[in-house]
Amino acid sequence: MTPMLRLSEVRKVFGGLVALNDLSFEVAPGSIVAMIGPNGAGKSTVFNLITGVYQPTHGSIDLEGRSLRGLDTAAIASLGIARTFQNVRLFAFMSARDNVMTGRHARMRANLVDSLLHTPAQRAEEKSVRERARELLRFVGLEREADSYARNLPYGSQRRLEIARGLAGDPKLLLLDEPAAGMNPKEKESLIDLIGRIRARGVTIFLIEHDMQLVMNVSERVTVLDHGEKIAEGAPEVVRRDERVIEAYLGRADGAA
């Protein structure tokens, strides 16, 4: 089976700093895969490489066997990769509904003339996207906040809205960058539930997370990164007992982070 996402020997160098060193791994379609690692291990760099914010110095990234090399962020998003951000990046002064509708941008057809004249096709499309936004807001539990500005929502809701915005374009693959960051235990629990429901929609999920409870609960496979290198990979309960992983997280006497 073609993996949903495959990274092969991906290397990223910033100036003299090797942020990622020949990283290879796969995400199977329909699975929930987590990537963990201490701060500065290179996790967000992986996301930025997948979404075309950075180009890899070496190596290749494939989505369902199709190389993403040379594609820009917008093109990659249009292929069906959606993401959330470590620091929530919503469109702060747009309503929750407009945020989700904007997430549908790449799947919409209205061109300049349609937008200018509000042609019947444009109206019909707007209506259906609006309806879809409503459905997604309900899906993440924000149906009552449709008209609120994104910035006026509580933090946990902002994270949910970002997920709804990501889902609006019917992605194949959803990248979640520390989705549980800053959440209280109750919010975390409903996030775990939400992630399960997203997968049930047929979306493959690849997430970066610090929160071990969440990682152990939701993910089927875990990749562990430290100093830009993969140090372990496998089922959560296996990875958890891995000596190198424990070392990377707790450090040793010589002070390796």
Partner 1 sequence: MPARRRAAVTIIAIGVALLAFPFVDRNNAQIDFMANAGAFILLALGLNIVVGFAGLLDLGYAAFFAIGSYSYAMLASQQFGIHIPFWVMLFVASGIAAIFGILLGAPTLRLRGDYLAIVTLGFGEIVPQTFLNLEKYTNGPNGISSLDQPSLFGKAFGFSATPYYYVTLVLIALGIVVASNLQNSRLGRAWMAIREDELAARHMGINTTAAKLSAFALGASFSGLAGVVYAAKLNLVSPDEFQFNVSVLVLSMLVLGGMGNIAGVIIGSFVLSFINSFLLPQSTSLAHAAGLVNLDFTNYRFMLYGVILVLMMLFRPEGLIPSRQRKAEFHEALSDPTLAAQEQAEYSGAAAAP
Q: Are 228 and 42 in contact (CB under 8 A)?
A: yes
**Binds partner 1 (CB under 8 A): choice among 116, 121, 124, 256:** 116
Q: Which positions from 179 through 218 interact with partner 1, judged by CB under 8 A? A: none
**Binds partner 1 (CB under 8 A): choice among 160, 165, 221, 230:** 165
DSSP the chain: ---SEEEEEEEEEETTEEEEEEEEEEE-TT-EEEEE-STTSSHHHHHHHHTTSS--SEEEEEETTEE-TT--HHHHHHTTEEE--SS----TTSBHHHHHHHHTGGG----HHHHHHT-HHHHHHHHHHHHHHHHHHHHTT-GGGTTSBGGGS-HHHHHHHHHHHHHTT--SEEEEESTTTT--HHHHHHHHHHHHHHHHTT-EEEEE-S-HHHHHHH-SEEEEEETTEEEEEE-HHHHHH-HHHHHHHH--TT---
What is the smallest separation between the CB atom of 159 and partner 1, expressed in angstroms?
12
Binding flag, residue 57, partner 1 (CB under 8 A) = no
Binding flag, residue 88, partner 1 (CB under 8 A) = yes
Q: Which residue has the tokens 């990248």?
A: 175
**Binds partner 1 (CB under 8 A): choice among 21, 24, 78, 217:** 78
**Binds partner 1 (CB under 8 A): choice among 29, 60, 91, 216:** 91
115/213 with CB nearer partner 1: 115
**Binds partner 1 (CB under 8 A): choice among 32, 34, 96, 108:** 108
Binding flag, residue 74, partner 1 (CB under 8 A) = yes
**Binds partner 1 (CB under 8 A): choice among 64, 149, 189, 247:** 149
154/196 with CB nearer partner 1: 154
**Binds partner 1 (CB under 8 A): choice among 16, 65, 70, 112:** 112
Task: Please tell me the distance from the alpha carbon of residue 163 to that of residue 85, in angstroms, as a whole number.
Answer: 10
Q: Which two tokens stand for residue 249?
A: 């997280």
Binding flag, residue 2, partner 1 (CB under 8 A) = no
What is the smallest separation between the CB atom of 83 and partner 1, expressed in angstroms?
6
Footprint on this chain of partner 1 (rule: CB under 8 A): 14, 17, 19-20, 40-42, 44-45, 48, 51, 53, 72-75, 77-78, 82-83, 85-94, 98, 101-103, 105-108, 110, 112, 114-118, 122, 125-126, 149, 151-152, 155, 165, 169, 228
